[in-house]
Amino acid sequence: MAKLRYTSGDASVVMDDTLDRVYRRAINNARPGLLPVLDSEAARLGADAIGQWPVKTGRSRAAIVSGVRVVSNDRLESFVGNTSPYVVYIKGRAQGGKSAWQELIRKPGLASVPRLLERLADTMGDVLGGQ
């Protein structure tokens, strides 16, 4: 479980332990079960990207990050990304010579949206009494 981040515009800040606990408690009180689903999906996608990354050592593989961002008072985002400035230029044989960022981070992230929405709906249905 990665720490929550607060994002505004182009800036993103990782919350310290105290603020992370406060936000997690508030989010869990408002929407029980939401954060574990978002956290687990981001962690799964991040781990898959790390496991298949064409460069096994170095900065680009270490720069793969995942977690949950607090974007506004009523908006959360689950994310997977790579903070390396040259990530779009990394290509791998296993990806057919295509961009590793596109094939291992962006496309799997977009493909996971329907499954994530289904998991969130199931979680919210359980919280609301199975409706």
Residue the block writes with tokens 């996971």: 112
Structure tokens at 127: 């919280």
Asked if residue 117 lies in contact with residue 34, where contact means CB atoms within 8 angstroms, the answer is no
Asked if residue 32 lies in contact with residue 38, where contact means CB atoms within 8 angstroms, the answer is no
* pTM for the full predicted model: 0.85
Identify the domain containing residue 110 by its residue range.
5-127
Please give the angle made by the CA atoms of 15, 79 and 131, to the nearest 5 degrees.
100
At 55-84, the pLDDT tens digits run 988 899 999 999 999 988 788 999 999 999
Q: How many domains does the chain have?
A: 1
At 11-54, the pLDDT tens digits run 889 999 999 999 999 999 888 889 999 999 999 999 999 999 99
